[in-house]
Amino acid sequence: MLAWYRVRLKEHGFLVATPLLLRVVWARISAALANKFLSARVECPCCGWEGGRFFDYLEVGCTARGVECPRCNSHPRHRAFALWLKGAYRLESRSGTALVFAPERALESAWESAAGLKIVKTDIEPSRGVDLLADIQRLPFAHDSFDLIWCQHVLTQIPDDRAAIREMQRVLRAGAGKLIISAAREARAETREFGRADKRHLGFWRVYGEDFAARLAEGGLEVSEVGHGVSAQDCVRYGIDSDEGFFICTKPASS
């Protein structure tokens, strides 16, 4: 919590960071009390935690009630992906080489279940337990290296996202390789570009619009939008409040 506060203090100053810290502490105390006295109604498929309610997620410019797993910090999209990877995608039976960007702690057990997959975890920062540091805009891999590329909610934080898309296309294995990707989107036609890492928008360079798929296609990918396919009953059980959808992209064999 102290490290978390120091980062906000540095980025936003005392007058923003301290009230936020107090709100987070209060939210954690009330959620802990609720979980002590309420019967288990929700469950995290990432880590197996069960309880009365998930924690609130509070950040500068963002408040989401009852979304975060107290044990593994999963959010609804992580839980939806955990179910999809295990169910529809059958991750445990996959083989080949996978490149995972900004590996989410909540999906650690999912990747560990893929015994036949050689996984390379990468990020631009050393804090996520990665195998190597790499800039997604300039990847240190040969063409057609990966059977699977995993890139969730990364591109909003990249200055030149078109360069990143071209790089992922380059290292994806032509024909059979799959890029599985999602990003923060909103219901508007065009992507909003901020021109910098905007502190008021979680440090994002942009929020995508309905043109996200077109931007992926510009980078030489064939793009299909997919839903997680979680049932209404499981959405309640696992705290998944929406099916935001994601994209599975391939590179034509001739490119």
Q: Which residues would be at the binding site for Zn ion (CB under 5 A)?
A: 44, 46-47, 49, 69, 71-72, 74
CB of 222 to Zn ion, least distance (A): 34
Question: Would you call 118 exposed, middle or buried from its count of C-beta atoms within 10 A (0-12, 13-18, 19+)?
Answer: exposed
Q: Which C-beta is closer to Zn ion: that of 13 or that of 48?
A: 48
Rounded CA separation 9/15 (Å): 9
Q: For residues 122 and 99, is the Cβ–Cβ distance under 8 A?
A: yes
Q: Which C-beta is closer to Zn ion: that of 105 or that of 199?
A: 105
Q: Which C-beta is closer to Zn ion: that of 46 or that of 155?
A: 46
CB of 240 to Zn ion, least distance (A): 13
CB of 43 to Zn ion, least distance (A): 9
CB of 239 to Zn ion, least distance (A): 10
Q: Which C-beta is closer to Zn ion: that of 49 or that of 141?
A: 49
DSSP 8-state secondary structure symbol assigned to residue 174: T
DSSP per-residue codes, 60-83: TTEEEEEEE-TTT---HHHHHHHH
Q: Which C-beta is closer to Zn ion: that of 108 or that of 160?
A: 108
Q: For residues 101 and 123, is the Cβ–Cβ distance under 8 A?
A: yes
E-strand spans in 89-198?
Answer: 96-101, 117-123, 132-133, 148-152, 178-182, 192-198
- Residue whose structure tokens are 């992906």: 81
Q: Which C-beta is closer to Zn ion: that of 74 or that of 152?
A: 74
Question: Would you call 238 exposed, middle or buried from its count of C-beta atoms within 10 A (0-12, 13-18, 19+)?
Answer: buried
Q: Which C-beta is closer to Zn ion: that of 12 or that of 71?
A: 71
Residue 132 φ/ψ, nearest 5 degrees: -155, 155
CB of 171 to Zn ion, least distance (A): 31
Neighbours of 199 (CB within 10 A): 14
CB of 113 to Zn ion, least distance (A): 15
Q: Of 61, 70, 79, which is closest to residue 28 (Cα–Cα)?
A: 70
CB of 95 to Zn ion, least distance (A): 27
